[in-house]
Structure 1
Amino acid sequence: MSAFNKMLVAIDLTEEAPQVLNKAKAMSEAHNAELLLVHVVEPVGYAYGGDIPMDLTELQDQLDKAAHEQLESYGNQYGVPKDQQMVTVGRPESEIHRIAKEQGVDLIVVGSHGRKGFQLLLGSTANGVLHGTECDVLAVRIN
């Protein structure tokens, strides 16, 4: 029996995503594990702190639509079925924890820039995912 049966790979849809996806795909194949592909869209209001007195619904919908399209493209490229691709809105760490728990995930794979010093104090998604999850986390170093 493999140590990992279900893996969640959380990507940010940047040009660095393939580095994380390549590692996650290799791990899932090595363990014959199911792979879930997840992207979390942060609410537009977070970026502005709610200080803009306007309806940002249309912008949020556009971001959500673009995320679905990009994730589907990665899913097709890496052989992840549509029903195992998820786009959600919220705080990345919280949403990744929630989905991992709901889906019974054994391993979360995230990218990490390997920040040091003061930047580390500010935190990162990878650090947030690591501290608070109930399963193993693999942080893939982004070059």
Structure 2
Amino acid sequence: MTRYRHVLAAVDFSEATDPVAGQALDLARRYEAELTFLHVLEYVPPLDLGYEPVVAPDWLPDEQELLAAARARLEELAGRLGAREAHLRAEWGHPRSDVVRLAEEAGADLIVLGSHGRRGLTRLLGSTADAVLHSARCDVLAVRIG
């Protein structure tokens, strides 16, 4: 049986967050492993209207504000679950590729994430869980949601 040393929970602040983080916390405590809660904010470039705006729209949130808000949500999650020992990390990127990259950088040997068990077109197009499962070099636990 594998003895995990570092469990990384990839959370997206959906309904899957608490079950995923809770499962990761249970495993980290069982194996006396490090625990990281990770949220990858996906950068969506502004819509190209074919011209440069005269002024930047003030209704667009600042990237640093979004990152700070994600970190605050991770802190709230860790507090709610009693996971004071968890490392908290929020990064800009693409969840499908950067969850694996950031897990490798952190030295994680288990990635825990949510899977909605979708079928049809969504399944055909793929999901973050599917991409991580097929590209990670460490174990991956997909917590089924719904």
1:62 aligned to 2:62?
no
Q: Which runs of 4+ in 1 moved over 4 A?
A: 52-57
Point out where structure 2 has 5 or more consecutive residues left out of the alignment.
none
Match of 1:136 among 113, 128, 139: 139
How far 1:2 sits from its partner (Å)?
A: 5.3
1:101 is matched with 104
The number of equivalent residue pairs is 139
1:51 is matched by which residue type in structure 2?
A: D
Distance 2:64 2:44 in 1: 10
1:69-93 Cα distance to aligned partner (Å, 9 max, x none)? 10111122231446x1000001012
With 58-67 and 36-45 compared, the bigger mean Cα shift is at 58-67
Question: Which structure's residues are more often helix, by fraction?
Answer: 1
1:94-117 Cα distance to aligned partner (Å, 9 max, x none)? 221111111111100000100112
Structure 1 length-normalised TM: 0.85
Point out where structure 1 has 5 or more consecutive residues left out of the alignment.
none
Structure 2 length-normalised TM: 0.84
- Tell me, yes or no, if the aligned pair for 1:44 and 1:60 is still in contact at 8 Å: no
Distance 2:74 2:26 in 1: 18
Match of 1:51 among 45, 48, 57: 48
With 93-102 and 128-137 compared, the bigger mean Cα shift is at 93-102
- Tell me, yes or no, if the aligned pair for 1:43 and 1:60 is still in contact at 8 Å: no
1:89 aligned to 2:92?
yes
Percentage of matched positions with identical amino acids:
39
Distance 2:108 2:102 in 1: 8
1:122 is matched with 125
1:41 aligned to 2:38?
no
2:18 is matched with 18
1:44-90 Cα distance to aligned partner (Å, 9 max, x none)? 31xx5x425555774433322211110111122231446x1000001
1:29 is matched with 29
Distance 2:127 2:72 in 1: 25
- Tell me, yes or no, if the aligned pair for 2:96 and 2:127 is still in contact at 8 Å: no
1:9-29 Cα distance to aligned partner (Å, 9 max, x none)? 000012331011111111112
